[in-house]
A and B are shown apart, each in its own frame.
Chain A
Amino acid sequence: MKPNFKLFATLSLLLVAGLILAACQPQTIIETVEVEVPGEEVIVEVPAEGADLDSIIPADGMIECQPLPEMAFDTTGETVASAPSVPVVASGASAPVASEAAQGGGVYRVGIFEDMTTTNFWAANGPDNTVWNSYIQSPQYLAAYNLSHQSLQWVPQAAAAEGPPPVQEGDVWTITIPLRDDITWSDGEQFTADDWAFTAQTVLDFGLISGGWTAWYDANLLVSIEAVDDFTAKLTFNDVPGLISQHNVWGAPILAEHYWAPVVAEAGAGLEGLEGDDLVAAQAEAQDILFAHQPDGEPFAGSYTLGQREPGAFVTNDPYASYYGAGQTVTIYENGSYQSVELDGTTFTAYGEPEGEPTLEVVEGPFFDSVLYTIYSSQDAALLALKNGDIDFVLNPLGLQRGLLDQVQGDENISIIENGVNGFRYMSFNVRREPMNYCSFRQAVAVLIDKEFVTGTILQGVAFPLYSYVPEANGAWYKDDVPKLGFGLDREQRVELAKEILRQDGFSWEGGVEPVFNVDAGSVDPGGRLLLPDGTPVPNLNLLSPPPSYDPLRSTFAVWIESWLNEFGIPATANLIGFNVSIPIIFTEQDFDMYILGWSLGQDPDYLRDFFHSEQAVEDGNNAGGYSNPEFDAAADAIFTCQTFDECKEISDQLQLTLSTETPYVLLFDTGIIEAYRSAGIDFPYTSSLSGMQWTGNPGGPAMVNVAKVK
C-alpha cells in the first residue's frame, strides 16, 4: 500500500496543534466567593485571574474565636498529663552515655541513595541543595558556631568565645566575634576572619537566595562582615539582630578566600555599578558562572576533606589531619552546662558552670582512615548490603521504612535506633473562604479529627499524633500546655463538643436534626447539613491530600477526615492528587478549602513567622490559607529581635498558644525516624538525637563515629 504522506503530515500537525492548545490553556486562579455574615458584612473577595492576591487578605473576614464551651469533660487536653510520648531530645534530658577512648583505622562505610549533584559548595547550597550533597559536604566546612552534640546548644566552632550581644553604632548594629588562631585550611593556609568576610560578601554581591544561603547570610538584615584583624570578625546589621537571626549567621559555612577569590572575581566581573533589574539579571549570569566551576584542590577546614568521587558509584571523605577539634572531649552536664577540653588542656565552658553528673561525654575524631559513601538505588539492596557487612550505616532522610524493619531485626550485628523528628504533617484551612473563616468551625473540625484513632488503631503506631506547632522532639522550644483540641475524647464526646462549639457561634443543622452518636451502633447517626449562622448551607468542601502512592499516612488521614466531616453534616470530599499537581493549586492558585501537606522544621521556631505571618498570605507565599492576625504578626516579628533565649521562648510560647487556639492548621501527626547501623563495625557515642544520627548538623558529622569495640 502506498503511504499517504499528506494525510500523515496533516494528522501530525493537528496533533501538535492540539497539544499546543492544551498546554497553553489559561489556568483558573481562584473562584470568587462572597460571604455574608449576620451583623457585619464580610466579603471574602477572591480576585479574577491575574489580580493581586495582596488585596484579598481578609483581616476582618476571619471570625474570632469564642471561649471553648463548658462541658462535663475536659475540652482542651490541658489537664491531661501529657501528649503521647515520643522520643525527646532536650537539654540535659538524656541518659548518660560515655564514649570509649578513640580507637581508629579502617573505613567507615555508608550507604546513600542518590549521588552528589555537584562538589561546588556554592551550588550545593544553592540550586543543587539536596540532602545528599549536604551529608557528604557538611563535615568539610566550618562555621563560627555549631550546635552541640545531643543537647543542641550553640557552641563555638571557628569562634574563640561565645557570641557577644549586638551593639548599636549609629544606624547599624554590630557584633564583634573573635576567631580561633589555630585553624588552618587543608592546604596549609591560615583560616582567618577574611575567609568569613569573603564568603558573606560573595553571597551578598551575587544575590544568592536559593538553598541555605538566604537564611545564613540574609541580605535583608546583614550589611557586611569585615575582618577587623586576622582573627576578629565584625558583623554589621541594618537592624537589631535577634538571637535567632544571630544563630542563622553563626551557623553559616565559611569558604576559603585564597581558593575562591579568583573564581568569584571572574564570575562577578560584570556586577559593579549595576542596580535594579540590570543587577538582578547580571547576578543570575554571575551565579551560573560561579556554580559551574568544578573545584579542583579546594581546601577544607572541617573534620573531613573531599577524597575521591566516582559519579554514580561512590564518594570518599578523607580525615583532615589538622582538624582543630580532633581529640577534644565534649561533656554535657545535668544542669545543661557544656564543656569542651582540647588535647592541650584548653577548656571551654558555656551555659553555666558544670553541676551534677555528666549526661554525655564524647571524644571527637576523626577515627577512620576514610568515609566511603556508596550509592544504592534501593533500600532493599542497601539493607542486604548492611546485613552482609558491606556497609556500616544507611543514610536516608526518611529513615528505615517500617516494612523493611523485619529484615534487620534480630540480626545480632545490627542495632536499630528510633528518634523523634523535627517536623509535622498538617491540615490547613483556607480562611479566606466560608466557613473556614470561622474559628469555631476550624476548632470543631479539629475536635472531630481523632488522631489517636488513626495513628494508633489504623496505622498501628507507625505515626504519633501532634498537637503543638513545635514538635515535642524539639525539647528546647516545645510548649506542652497549649490547647489540645479533642485530645483524650471518645467519639461521642468529640461530636458533642464540636456541636457545642458551633452552636455557640450560631451554626445549626438543616431541619434541626443534629448528628448524634449512637451508643448501640457505636457510630454517628448523621443529621441534616450544617448551616452557617445566616442559615445558608455549608458549601461542598474539598480536601486536597497526597495520594497513597506518595504518602499512605496522609491519604489515610484524608479519607477518615472526609468520613467524619460528612457524618457531621459537613459535605467534604477528599481529593487525593499528586504532589506536583497540588503545589500550584495550593500555593499559587490558592484554590482549595483544605489541604494536607507537611513541613520539615528548623530548630529555632522562627518558622512560625514564615508560615503564618500575613505578609506570606500572597501568591506563592507560605501562608496559602490566608491566616491573618495583626497581634500574631507583631509577636512573630518580635521573634527576630528578641535577644535572650528566655525572651524568645516567651514569644515562641505566645505564638504557639495563639495558633493552637485559632487553628489555621490542624496538626495531624509525624513519624519517628528509624535507623539501623552495623554495631559489629561502628560505635556511636550516643544514639538519642533529634531527627536521628544522620542529622548533618552533628558537629564534625562522621567525626563522632568510632570504630566498634571488640565484643
Chain B
Amino acid sequence: MRGYLFKRLAQIVITFFLFLSAIFFLVDAQPGDYGNVFYSNPRLTPEQRQQLKANLGLDQPTWVRYTKWMSSFLQGDLGISFSNYPRPVIDVIAERAPRTIVLFMSATVVSFYFGFMAGKLLAWNRGGLVEYASTIGGVSLYTVFTPWFALIMIWVFAFRLGWFPIGKFIEPTAWIGAPTEVNDVFIRLIFTALIASVLLFTLLVSVGRLNTNQRRPATWIGMAVIAAGALIYWLNTGLGVYALDILWHLTLPIITLALISFAGSMLLTRNSMLETLREDYVLAARAKGISEKAIRDRHAARNAMLPVVTSFVFSLAFAIDGGVITETVFSWPGMGRTLLTAANAEDIPMVLGALVFTGTLALTAHLVADILYAYLDPRIRYA
C-alpha cells in the first residue's frame, strides 16, 4: 500500500504540472489579452497603451510569462489579478472560496444523501409506481434548463410566497454595523461543519460496536450532544444571528441544486444496488433469515456504495469551482462567477489561480477515492 501511495503521489505531481502547463497555454492562446481594456479609453496614446501592457507583463513572449508564472507559483505566489489590480490572486480566492464551499458542499451532501436514500429504496421496491415517478421526475429535473428552473424557484418561493430572499447571500440591512465580516462567519460555519462531521463519523463508528438495542439511543444522544455543542458555540460567539441569516439565504439555492442533481446519485445507487442484490451473499443472508431491512441497509446498500462514494468525493472536489449559472442567478459571489469573469476579461493570473485549486482538489480527490476504496471494500488491496 505504501509503495502504491508513493507511486500515485509521484503521478499526481507530474499530472499537476502538466495540468498547470496545459491551462496556462490554453488560456493564453485566447485571442487578445487583458490589454484590450485600454482601447476603451480613447484619451490614451498608443505609447501609453503599450506602457500599461508592459506594466502587466503583457509585452513579454508567452514562454517568458510561462516561466515567470511557474517560478512564482513554486514560491507560493499566484500573482496579481489584473481585474482587481494590484490585489493578489490568493487574496481574491480566499475571499470568494468560502462562500462557494459552503453552498456547493452543502448542496452536494444534501443531494447525495437524498439521492442515495432514494436510489436504495427504488432498487429495493423495483417496478412500482414510485420508481417510475421518481425516475421520470428525477431525470426531468436532472436535465432541466438550470437558469430557467432557478429563476422559477426564486419567482415562486422568494417573490410570490416570500419564504426566501431574492438572490444575495446575506441581507445587507442585517449586516450594517455587524461586529465581523461575512467571510469570518462563513469560515466559522465551515469549521463547525467540519468538526461536527468528524465527531459524527467518530460517533457512528463507535456506536457500531454497541449491541443493536443500544445503537439507536446512543446515536440520537450523540447527535444531540454534537448539535448542542454547535449551538452553544454559536450563541457564545454572538454571531449566531448572522449565521442564521446566511443559512436562510442558503436554503433556496441548496434546494434548487439538490433537486437538479440528486437524480444522478439516485440512479447510480439504484443501478449499483440492483447489481448487488443479485449477489450470492444477499441470497445467503436471506437464507439465514436476516430481516429485509438489515439485508437492504447493511448488506446490499453498503456494498452498493462504492461507485456512489467515488462520485461523491469527486463532486466535493469540484465544489470549489462553484457553478457560474447558480451563482449568477442567486447572486452568490463565489468562485464560479470569479472564474467566468476572469476568463472573459482574460485575467490570466486569476483564471490560473482558480484552476490551481480545482486541479489540486481534483487530484487529491482521486487519491482519496483510491484509499476509500480499500477502506470500504476489504477485498481491494493495492500492491
Contact = CB atoms under 8 A, between A and B. Distances in A.
Interface string B256-267: 000000000000
B138 interface: no
B167 A381 contact: yes
A115 interface: yes
B18 A12 contact: yes
Given A310-B181, A311-B95, A313-B182, A20 B154 contact: no
A115 B21 contact: no
B51 interface: yes
B44 A385 contact: no
B159 A380 contact: no
Nearest to A386: B166
Contacts of A376: 167-168, 331
Contacts of B182: 310-313
B84 A380 contact: no
A214 B48 contact: yes
B329 interface: yes
A477 B36 CA distance: 29
Contact of B83 (A117, A316, A579): A117
B11 A5 contact: yes
A311 B48 CA distance: 31
B79 interface: no
Q: How big is the B interface, by class?
A: 35 or more
A372 B173 contact: yes
A127 B85 contact: yes
Contacts of A378: 167, 328-329, 331
Contacts of B83: 117, 128
B55 A313 contact: no
A580 B169 contact: no
A377 B63 contact: no
Given A215-B43, A312-B96, A621-B46, A384 B25 contact: no
Interface string B151-167: 10011001100000011
Nearest to A309: B181
A324 interface: no
B55 A16 contact: no
B86 A291 contact: yes
Nearest to B26: A19
Given A16-B22, A107-B173, A388-B166, A620 B154 contact: no
A513 interface: no
B46 A381 contact: no
Nearest to B83: A117
B333 A377 contact: yes
Contact of B86 (A288, A311, A370): A288
A541 B82 CA distance: 36
A307 B44 CA distance: 33
A584 B32 contact: yes
Interface in B12-30: 14-15, 18, 21-22, 25-26, 28-30
B61 interface: yes
Given A117-B83, A581-B32, A622 B166 contact: no
A374 B36 contact: no
A374 B170 CA distance: 10
B42 interface: yes
Contacts of B49: 620
Interface string A21-43: 01110000000000000000000
B120 interface: no
A270 B39 CA distance: 30
A209 B172 contact: no
Nearest to A621: B46
A583 interface: yes
Given A128-B85, A310-B172, A377-B333, A23 B25 contact: yes
Interface in B40-97: 40-46, 48-52, 55, 61-63, 66, 82-87, 95-96
B172 A123 contact: no
Contacts of B167: 376-378, 381-382, 384-385
A620 B176 contact: no
A167 interface: no
Given A312-B333, A372-B173, A210 B52 contact: yes
B172 A372 contact: yes
Given A15-B22, A209-B44, A611-B42, A375 B52 contact: no
Given A19-B26, A24-B62, A128-B84, A214 B333 contact: no
Contacts of A314: 170, 172, 175
B128 interface: no
A579 B37 CA distance: 11
Interface string B314-342: 00000000000001111111000100000
B289 interface: no
A108 B172 CA distance: 13
Contacts of A620: 39, 46, 49-50
A387 B162 CA distance: 12
Given A19-B22, A374-B172, A376-B168, A292 B36 contact: no
A689 interface: no
Given A292-B86, A378-B167, A580-B31, A210 B173 contact: no
Interface string B110-154: 000000000000000000000000000000000000000001001
Given A9-B14, A308-B177, A312-B99, A19 B172 contact: no
A616 interface: yes
Contacts of A645: none
Nearest to B155: A384
Contacts of B87: 117-118, 292
Sort A-B residue pairs by CB-CB distance and give the 5 closest, nearest first: A312-B333, A381-B167, A19-B25, A314-B172, A580-B32
27 contacts: A12-B15, A16-B25, A19-B22, A20-B25, A23-B25, A23-B29, A24-B63, A115-B333, A128-B85, A209-B52, A214-B43, A308-B177, A310-B178, A311-B95, A313-B169, A313-B175, A372-B172, A376-B167, A377-B331, A378-B167, A380-B151, A381-B331, A384-B154, A580-B36, A583-B32, A584-B31, A620-B50
Given A23-B29, A377-B330, 20 more contacts: A16-B18, A16-B25, A19-B22, A118-B84, A127-B85, A210-B41, A211-B41, A311-B95, A311-B183, A311-B333, A312-B182, A313-B175, A370-B176, A372-B173, A377-B328, A384-B154, A388-B159, A388-B166, A390-B166, A599-B42
Interface of A: 5, 9, 12, 15-16, 19-20, 22-24, 107, 115, 117-118, 123, 127-129, 209-211, 214-215, 280, 284, 287-288, 291-292, 307-308, 310-314, 316, 370, 372, 374-378, 380-382, 384-385, 387-388, 390, 578-581, 583-585, 587, 599-600, 607, 610-611, 616, 618-622
